[in-house]
Amino acid sequence: MSPVQLIRPKRFGDARGWFTEVYSEPAFAALGISCRFVQDNHSLSKPQFTLRGLHFQVPPHGQDKLVRCARGRIFDVAVDVRKGSPTYGEWVGAELSAENGHQLFIPIGFAHGFVTLEEDCEVTYKCSDTYSPECDGGIRWDDPAVGIVWPMPEGTQPELSAKDKVQPLLANFDSPFPYDGRPLAPLS
């Protein structure tokens, strides 16, 4: 099973709307996800094509993440940055939206980022460790060696934070993340 997983929670609907179970420890354990989440984050990105990433935290405060889009639509990406991985530098991505309810589980050892596909997107994500500024890291969103195909019109410059404009290239990153024997696979 791929370490990065696209999760499609069931929705139960009627005339009032719908209900979904976003997280259940036993259900996630059945998928091989056994981390304990200790922090929830929530972001609002006002402009379309706001790009946040590619971020991670290095040990001892690495973070597993469970990401979902609560309003709007995003393209969410995970990049394998585990030293010795046969899929090092490869990426997977999926559209997450309030409408589809999909979530992306991104384990420790993967850089994470997303671009908003419409205005006023809200993204929530659970983390398995708290924010640690001294462990904060990232790589460039547009690193040609990674080659992420961001779904933006050609020539579009995304809205970026000052930090994301100057992240290092993957070639300049000495990964502290070990390979666990599970290569990255396409999302199913």
Token couple for 152: 């933006």
H-type helices in the chain, by residue range?
Answer: 25-30, 162-165
- Which of 55, 88, 102, 112 is flagged as catalytic? 55
Residue 99: phi and psi, rounded to 5, are: -70, -45
Query: What is the rounded distance in angstroms from the CA atom of residue 172 to the CA atom of residue 166?
Result: 12
Its sign, for the CA torsion 10, 112, 156, 87, is: negative
Judge contact between 38 and 129, C-beta under 8 A: yes
- Which of 23, 42, 125, 179 is flagged as catalytic? 125
- C-alpha closest to that of 54 among 155, 132, 136, 152: 136
**3-state SS class at 134:** helix
Query: What is the rounded distance in angstroms from the CA atom of residue 122 to the CA atom of residue 161?
Result: 17
**3-state SS class at 52:** strand
Annotated active-site residue 112? The verdict is no
Query: What is the rounded distance in angstroms from the CA atom of residue 73 to the CA atom of residue 182?
Result: 29
Which are the catalytic amino acids? 55, 125
